[in-house]
C-alpha cells in the first residue's frame, strides 16, 4: 500500500492507521507551509512565525550535521526517525537513494511534500520494529539523528540501547557507517544554565535523569561501554558545535577546538536559560586541560572507517551568493585514520550551492592579487588552487599550515600580562599589512585569527575570502582587527579600544565611519535574513544572569488555591512558578484533583492587567467568555463574550478564578492556563481606576 507525493513514495504497509504522537496544531501549520511554499521561502516563514517548532523543523541549518559526509550517487542511505525531513533533502541531493522510517504519517507527509521533487526518496510509515525486518543490510549510511536517545521507545527489552545499536548496525554494509547524533548529558551548556533538551528541566541529564522517563543521553564513556558490549571496536567521535541541531563547526579527535574558538554559546532557542558562568572561559580551560571531549555539548559518532574530513566549518548562515563550507582533510597516516607518520592535510572551501560558485572561484583570483601586493612584505599568502573534478561544484584547495595564530599569540601576552610583547606583535602586524597601501586590492578580513605564524616564524595569511579590488585604509583594517578581537570575552575586555584608536591617530569621526562600514559589510554578507544567533532574540528566549534569574523566578511565583465546595482557603493552597513564554505570556499547568470545584490563581502581588489567552482541561478548551467558567476580582475591560477577556486589578491580591462545576472531570487531570500579564505601578493603577469609576458614574 503506497501513496505518491510528487516523486516521493510513502509506503503505508506498516502504518497502524493513527499517529501515536503529535506536536499539536503546529504540525498542520508546517504541513501548510511545505505544501504552499518552496524551500527558498522557508526562511521568510521562520521569521514571520516567531515559532520554535517552525524554526527547528524548517531551518536549512539543520542539514549541517550531515551535509559534510562524503556521498555520491552510488551512496545508499537509511534514515531512521526522519520526522519532518529536516535532513532528508540534503541526503536526497547527495546520495543515490534515501530510505526513511518514521512512526508518524503527518510528519512523513511534511517530509514528502518538502522533498517532492526528489525521485530517490521512499518513506516507510509505521513502527520501526515492524519495518526493520524488511530493510536490506547493505546501506552505506544508517543515520540516527536525534533518535538514539529514544531507544527505549523503539526497543522494549531489558537492554534497549544495546539492542537498538545492534539492530541498526546490522543494516550497515561492510565498510559502511552507522552515524549517531545526540546530546552529551555532560555538555557544557547544561552546567552553565541551559535546560535539558527533552525534559526542559535544569540539570536533569547531569543528575542522570532522577525522575526517570524514556529519554536517555550519554557521555562519551557511556557510549564506549555500549560499543564494547556490542562488539563494536571501529568508531570515531566528532564534536558538533554549538550542538548537533544547528552545528556551526564539526570538530574531531584529529582536529579539536583551539583556545578562543568556542564563543557562540547563547543558543537557547527553546526556552529561557540561566547564565551561571562564562562558557567561553570554561571551554578555554577544558581545552587547555585536554578534556574538551567530556564537555562537548553534542556528539556525532560514526562506526566503521573514518572519512578524510577531520574538521568542517559552515559559513552558510549568509546570503546564498556567499554561503560556503570549509573542510580540513587528512590522508595517509595510520590505517585507523588517527593520523601519525605520513599524514597529509589540506584545506578546501566548497560553495554551499550554485549561487556561491563565483564567490569561491574568486578566492583564487584574490590569492594571485594579494600575493603580488605583499611580495617582499614578510606576509605570505596561503597557496590556493581551483579544483574542477566534474563530480561536484568547483572548489578551492589551500595549503594546511601548522603553527599558531596571531590571535593566540596575543592572548598569551594578555594571559601573562606582557603588554610590551603584545604591543610589539601588534606593530609588526601593522608594518606587514601597511605594505604597498596604494595597491587596489585589500583583504577586509585581516583579523588576527586569519594570520598564522608557522613553525619557521613565517607570517601567513591563511584566509582571504573577503578581498576587494579597492584601496582600504590600513587604519580601517587595524581598527576592525582590534574591534573583532575585543569582542571575544575573557582577558580581551581589558583592552581599551579607544586608547588604541588614539594611538593610531583614528579620531571619533573616522571610528564612527569604520563601525558603520562594518555594519554595512555584515548586512551585505547575511543579506536580509535573520541569522541563527539572532533567532534566539526573535523567538523571545532570554539569557538571564543567575542572580537575576532567581529574582525573576520570585516575580513569577504564584499561589494556587483549590475549592472543594467550601470556598478557597490557605489550607488548600500551594505555590508554583509560572512558565515564561514570550512577550509577557505566562503558562501554568495544574493537576485537578478529585472533588475540586474550582481553582484560583493569584498571578501577582501587585496591581496588574491580565489578558486571558486559554484554559484547557485535558486539552479541551474552556469557554473563557462565559462567567460560569471564569471570574475575576478586577475590572473587565473587554467587551462581553470576547474570547480573550482583559481584566484590570487595582489590588495587591489579584486572582483568576477558573470554575469547574460544569466540567466533567474524574480527578488527576491537567488544567493548563495561559495569560498575558503586565504589572502596573500604584500611580498608574490609581489613575486608571479613577478613570474607570468616572466612566461608570456617567
DSSP notation for 373-405: HHTTTTEEEPPEEEE--SSS--EEEEE---EEE
Residue, of 584 and 46, whose pLDDT is higher: 46
How far, in Å, CA of 519 to CA of 526, rounded?
11
Mean pLDDT of the region 22-49: 92
Residue 130's pLDDT band, with cuts at 50, 70 and 90, is: very high
Residue 697's pLDDT is 46
Cell numbers linked to 300: 556525532
Measured between its terminal Cα atoms, the distance across the chain in Å is 71
How far, in Å, CA of 386 to CA of 394, rounded?
7
Do 237 and 106 reside in the same domain of the chain? yes
Whether 475 is covered by a domain: the verdict is no
| Number of domains the chain contains | 3
Do 340 and 391 reside in the same domain of the chain? yes
Q: Look at residue 245 and give its three-state secondary structure.
A: coil
Mean pLDDT of the region 315-331: 96
How far, in Å, CA of 558 to CA of 91, rounded?
48
Q: Look at residue 205 and give its three-state secondary structure.
A: coil
How far, in Å, CA of 525 to CA of 574, rounded?
53
pLDDT exceeding 90 applies to what percent of the chain?
Answer: 72
Element (H, E) at 241: strand 235-241
Q: Max alpha carbon distance in the chain (Å)?
A: 93
Whether 434 is covered by a domain: the verdict is no
Do 22 and 99 reside in the same domain of the chain? yes
Identify the CA nearest to 330 among candidates 352, 350, 348: 348
How far, in Å, CA of 167 to CA of 169, rounded?
6
Placement of cell 573542510 in the chain: 327
pLDDT in tens, 151-192: 998 898 999 999 999 999 999 999 999 999 999 999 999 999
Q: Which of 275-289, 337-351, 491-505, 611-625 has the lowest mean pLDDT?
A: 337-351
pLDDT in tens, 63-88: 999 999 999 999 999 999 999 999 99
How far, in Å, CA of 117 to CA of 139, rounded?
23
Taking residue 22's Cβ as centre, other Cβ atoms within 10 Å add up to 13
Eight-class DSSP state of 195: B
Residue 579's pLDDT is 58
How far, in Å, CA of 152 to CA of 170, rounded?
18
Distance of CA 459 to the CA centre of its chain: 35
User: Residue 54 in contact with residue 45, Cβ under 8 Å?
Assistant: yes
How far, in Å, CA of 299 to CA of 92, rounded?
23
Mean pLDDT of the region 454-461: 94
Identify the CA nearest to 515 among candidates 466, 469, 468, 482: 482
Give the residue numbers spanning the domain of 622: 557-697
How far, in Å, CA of 99 to CA of 96, rounded?
10
Domain boundary pick from 380, 399, 418: 399
Mean pLDDT of the region 256-261: 92
Q: Which of 4-18, 414-428, 576-590, 677-691 has the lowest mean pLDDT?
A: 576-590
Cell numbers linked to 422: 603584545
Residue 342's pLDDT is 66
pLDDT in tens, 647-656: 999 999 999 9
Whether 417 is covered by a domain: the verdict is no
Residue 551's pLDDT is 59
Do 226 and 364 reside in the same domain of the chain? no
How far, in Å, CA of 366 to CA of 381, rounded?
10
Residue 580's pLDDT is 53
Cell numbers linked to 303: 562506526
Assess whether pLDDT exceeds 90 at residue 143: yes
Domain boundary pick from 383, 399, 415: 399
Residue 517's pLDDT is 92
Q: Are strands 344-351 and 395-399 parallel, antiparallel or unpaired?
A: antiparallel
pLDDT in tens, 493-534: 778 888 999 999 999 999 999 999 998 999 899 888 888 988
Do 68 and 198 reside in the same domain of the chain? yes
3-state secondary structure 650-668: CCCCCCEEEECCCCCCCCC
Residue, of 400 and 691, whose pLDDT is higher: 400
User: Residue 173 in contact with residue 137, Cβ under 8 Å?
Assistant: yes
Phi and psi at 41, nearest 5°, equal -95, -5
Mean pLDDT of the region 453-474: 95
Do 303 and 367 reside in the same domain of the chain? no
Residue 476's pLDDT band, with cuts at 50, 70 and 90, is: very high
Average pLDDT in the chain: 91
- CATH number for the domain harbouring residue 79: 3.40.50.150
Do 369 and 300 reside in the same domain of the chain? no
Q: Look at residue 525 and give its three-state secondary structure.
A: helix
Whether 595 is covered by a domain: the verdict is yes
Assess whether pLDDT exceeds 70 at residue 338: no
How far, in Å, CA of 10 to CA of 104, rounded?
12
Whether 386 is covered by a domain: the verdict is yes
Assess whether pLDDT exceeds 50 at residue 698: no
Mean pLDDT of the region 627-635: 90
pLDDT exceeding 70 applies to what percent of the chain?
Answer: 95
Mean pLDDT of the region 29-55: 94
Q: Would you put residue 332 in left (φ > 0), alpha (ψ -120 to 50) or beta?
A: left
Across-strand partners of 301? 180, 237
How far, in Å, CA of 75 to CA of 143, rounded?
13
Whether 373 is covered by a domain: the verdict is yes
Do 300 and 348 reside in the same domain of the chain? no
Mean pLDDT of the region 301-323: 96
Do 298 and 383 reside in the same domain of the chain? no
Placement of cell 511545505 in the chain: 34
* Dihedral of alpha carbons 629, 634, 637, 640, sign: positive
Do 229 and 355 reside in the same domain of the chain? no
Placement of cell 585569527 in the chain: 449
Whether 416 is covered by a domain: the verdict is no
Assess whether pLDDT exceeds 90 at residue 693: no
Whether 200 is covered by a domain: the verdict is yes
Do 302 and 334 reside in the same domain of the chain? no
Do 220 and 344 reside in the same domain of the chain? no
Domain boundary pick from 273, 307, 341: 307
Mean pLDDT of the region 268-275: 90
How far, in Å, CA of 400 to CA of 460, rounded?
11
Identify the CA nearest to 242 among candidates 258, 224, 261, 220: 261
Assess whether pLDDT exceeds 80 at residue 357: yes
Could you tell me the CA-to-CA distances from 260 to 145, 263, 327 in Å, in that order?
28, 7, 19
Assess whether pLDDT exceeds 70 at residue 440: yes
Amino acid at each position: 500500500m503506497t501513496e505518491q507525493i510528487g516523486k516521493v513514495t510513502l509506503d503505508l504497509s506498516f502504518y497502524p492507521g493513527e499517529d501515536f504522537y503529535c506536536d499539536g496544531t503546529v504540525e498542520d501549520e508546517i504541513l501548510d507551509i511545505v505544501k504552499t511554499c518552496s524551500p527558498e521561502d522557508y526562511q521568510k516563514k521562520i521569521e514571520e512565525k516567531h515559532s520554535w517548532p517552525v524554526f527547528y523543523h524548517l531551518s536549512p541549518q539543520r542539514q549541517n550535521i550531515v551535509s559534510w559526509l562524503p556521498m555520491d550517487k552510488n551512496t545508499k542511505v537509511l534514515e531512521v526517525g526522519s520526522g519532518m525531513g529536516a535532513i532528508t533533502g540534503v541526503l536526497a541531493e547527495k546520495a543515490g537513494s534515501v530510505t526513511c522510517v518514521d512512526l508518524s504519517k503527518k510528519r512523513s507527509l511534511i517530509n514528502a511534500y518538502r522533498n517532492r521533487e526528489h525521485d530517490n526518496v521512499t518513506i516507510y510509515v509505521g513502527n520501526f520494529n515492524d519495518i526493520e525486518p524488511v530493510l536490506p543490510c547493505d546501506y552505506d549510511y544508517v543515520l540516527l539523528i536525534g533518535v538514539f536517545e529514544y531507544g527505549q521507545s523503539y526497543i522494549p527489552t531489558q537492554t534497549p540501547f544495546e539492542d537498538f545499536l545492534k539492530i541498526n548496525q546490522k543494516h550497515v554494509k561492510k565498510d559502511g557507517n552507522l552515524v549517531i547524533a545526540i546530546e552529551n548529558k555532560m555538555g557544557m551548556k547544561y552546567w552553565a544554565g541551559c535546560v535539558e533538551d527533552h525534559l526542559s528541566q535544569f540539570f536533569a541529564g547531569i543528575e542522570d535523569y532522577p525522575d526517570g522517563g524514556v529519554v536517555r543521553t550519554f557521555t562519551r564513556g557511556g557510549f564506549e561501554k555500549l560499543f564494547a558490549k556490542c562488539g563494536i571496536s571501529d568508531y570515531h567521535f566528532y564534536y558538533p558545535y554549538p550542538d548537533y541541531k544547528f552545528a556551526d563547526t564539526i570538530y574531531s579527535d584529529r582536529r579539536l577546538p583551539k583556545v578562543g574558538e568556542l564563543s557562540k554559546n547563547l543558543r537557547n532557542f527553546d526556552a529561557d536559560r540561566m547564565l551561571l558562568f562564562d562558557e567561553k572561559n570554561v571551554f578555554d580551560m577544558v581545552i587547555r586541560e585536554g578534556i574538551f571531549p567530556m564537555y562537548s555539548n553534542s556528539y556525532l559518532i560514526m562506526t566503521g572507517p573514518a572519512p578524510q574530513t577531520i574538521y568542517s566549518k559552515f559559513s552558510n548562515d549568509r546570503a546564498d551568493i556567499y554561503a560556503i563550507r570549509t573542510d580540513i582533510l587528512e590522508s595517509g597516516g595510520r590505517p585507523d585514520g588517527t593520523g601519525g607518520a605520513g599524514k597529509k592535510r589540506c584545506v578546501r572551501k566548497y560553495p554551499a550551492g550554485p549561487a556561491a560558485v563565483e564567490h569561491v572561484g574568486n578566492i583564487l583570483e584574490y590569492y594571485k592579487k594579494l600575493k603580488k601586493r605583499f611580495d617582499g612584505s614578510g606576509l605570505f599568502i596561503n597557496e590556493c588552487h581551483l579544483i574542477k573534478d566534474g563530480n561536484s561544484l568547483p572548489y578551492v584547495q589551500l595549503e594546511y599550515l601548522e603553527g599558531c595564530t596571531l590571535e593566540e599569540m596575543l592572548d598569551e601576552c594578555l594571559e601573562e600580562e606582557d603588554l610590551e610583547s603584545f604591543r610589539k606583535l601588534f606593530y609588526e602586524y601593522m608594518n606587514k599589512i601597511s605594505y604597498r597601501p596604494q595597491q587596489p586590492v585589500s583583504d577586509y578580513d585581516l583579523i588576527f585569527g586569519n594570520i598564522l605564524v608557522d613553525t619557521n616564524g613565517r607570517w601567513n595569511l591563511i584566509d582571504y575570502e573577503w578581498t576587494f579590488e579597492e584601496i582600504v585604509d590600513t587604519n580601517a583594517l587595524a581598527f576592525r582587527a582590534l574591534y573583532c578581537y575585543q569582542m571575544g570575552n575573557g582577558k580581551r575586555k581589558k583592552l581599551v579600544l579607544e586608547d588604541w584608536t588614539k594611538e593610531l591617530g583614528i579620531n571619533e569621526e573616522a571610528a564612527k565611519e569604520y563601525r558603520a562600514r562594518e555594519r554595512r559589510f555584515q548586512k551585505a554578507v547575511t543579506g536580509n535574513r535573520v541569522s541563527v544567533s539572532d533567532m534566539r532574540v526573535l523567538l523571545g528566549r532570554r539569557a538571564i544572569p543567575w542572580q537575576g534569574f532567581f529574582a525573576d523566578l520570585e516575580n513569577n511565583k504564584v499561589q494556587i488555591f483549590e475549592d472543594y465546595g467550601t470556598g478557597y482557603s490557605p489550607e488548600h493552597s500551594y505555590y508554583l512558578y509560572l512558565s515564561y513564554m514570550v512577550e509577557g505570556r505566562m503558562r501554568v499547568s495544574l493537576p485537578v484533583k478529585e472533588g475540586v470545584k474550582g481553582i484560583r490563581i493569584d498571578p501577582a502581588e501587585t496591581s496588574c492587567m491580565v489578558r486571558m489567552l486559554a484554559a484547557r482541561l485535558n486539552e479541551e478548551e474552556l469557554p473563557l467568555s462565559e462567567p460560569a467558567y471564569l471570574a475575576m476580582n478586577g475590572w473587565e475591560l473587554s467587551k462581553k463574550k470576547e474570547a480573550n477577556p482583559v481584566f484590570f486589578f487595582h489590588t495587591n491580591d489579584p486572582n483568576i478564578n477558573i470554575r469547574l462545576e460544569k466540567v466533567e472531570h474524574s480527578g488527576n487531570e491537567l488544567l493548563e492556563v495561559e495569560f498575558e500579564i503586565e504589572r502596573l505601578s500604584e500611580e498608574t493603577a490609581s489613575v486608571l481606576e479613577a478613570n474607570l469609576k468616572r466612566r461608570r458614574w456617567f
